[in-house]
Amino acid sequence: MITRRAFNRAALAAFAAPLLARAQRSAADSPHRAIYMYKGADREARLAAGAKKEGQVVMYTSLNLKDSVPITEAFEKKTGIKVQLWRAGSEKVLQRAITEARAGRFSPDILETNGPEMEAMYREKLLEEFHSPHFTDLPAAAFPKHRHYVADRFNFFTIGYNTNLVKPEEVPDSYEDLVHPRWAGRVGIEGSDVDWFGAVVKSMGEEKGLAFFRKFAEARPQIRTGHTLMAELVASGEIPLAATLYNHNVERLTVKGAPVKWKAIQPTFGRPNAIGVARKAPHPHAAMLFVDFMLSKEGQTLLKERNRVPASLSVDTHLNKFPFHMIDPVITLDENDKWEKLWSELFLKGKKLEKEAD
């Protein structure tokens, strides 16, 4: 006869077996979670010791080399850890990371690119949640709900105008001001800003928002591809005002003496550029050490010095001193066909979208 104690042990074992299996699968799927989420007082020392053994860190990024190389060089000088940098456009970063992972190759430790592409990599389970002591310096808008990546820099959509051609009293204070008769044929928009379009329409309410953009389209805005190009055209006077300029592109021209200024009109929308650690990173300690550096005041100051918009509130810059909202990646990932079709019909005469090169 089986005793009650023996029966209970058997039942407990039967119940625990699938839990153990699930725990083992979870550990295999997230082998570095303990490293990424560690918050002990010796955290920095642990990461430094582990990174020293690993010797290097591999980052896939869309941040251009003139901005990314000074940051990686500063990290190497500070830590002695070599950074292997692979730079490409955001879509290519996403494509390579997914293709390699599906083939069972896990090369990158860090992924750093545009928010929608980071969200896509999260959905592909390429990223892992992590903790950094520098999170306290970041605004709430820097974090997605799942916290598997975090914004390290922002691209804000602002208006930009040529100060020789636009009088101070003419500068728009709202989106509705862009359809004033004085601006007919004199406003520029970047030809691939579909996510901004979707975000503004949603903020106004779809019916009202689409009505506004139909009126805006009737005012014959000038379409160009490339935010940097658009800023240069405004500075040169070819286009007096543009509605979708990144304020950091305008700022780069302003500090060089160009007659151009930017202004954030409400609601202001931004694209996060984010950083995350790979779930199956070959060098997890070095990955976290680099992420900490990128989010630190030192790393964020380097971004500011490149006239980028740092995410950290520890770095003083007027480039983020206004209320803002992040564009929901759902617009790009799940609703893109809808918004791209509407955008094309309104501004591109039904032609296919030509996307800006990163």
Query: Helix 65-79 to helix 297-305 angle, to the nearest 10 degrees?
Result: 150
**Whole-number pLDDT of residue 129:** 98
pLDDT at position 237 over 50: yes
Q: Could you give the CA distance from residue 240 to residue 353 in angstroms, rounded to a whole number?
A: 24
Q: Could you give the CA distance from residue 86 to residue 61 in angstroms, rounded to a whole number?
A: 6
Between 358 and 319, name the one with better pLDDT. Answer: 319
For the record, the structure tokens of 71 come out as 């940051």
**Whole-number pLDDT of residue 29:** 75
For the record, the structure tokens of 96 come out as 């390579």
Backbone angles phi, psi at 269, to 5 degrees: -115, 150
Q: Could you give the CA distance from residue 334 to residue 336 in angstroms, rounded to a whole number?
A: 6
DSSP letters, 250-262, are HHHHHTTT-SEEE
Residue 72, judged by CB atoms within 10 A of its CB (0-12, 13-18, 19+), counts as buried
**Whole-number pLDDT of residue 354:** 76
pLDDT at position 65 over 80: yes
The mean pLDDT value of the chain amounts to 92
Task: Supply the DSSP symbol for 179.
Answer: G
DSSP letters, 27-61, are HHHSTTHHHHT---TTHHHHHHHHHHHH-EEEEEE
Whether 337 contacts 208, CB under 8 Å: no
**Whole-number pLDDT of residue 124:** 96
Q: Could you give the CA distance from residue 119 to residue 29 in angstroms, rounded to a whole number?
A: 18
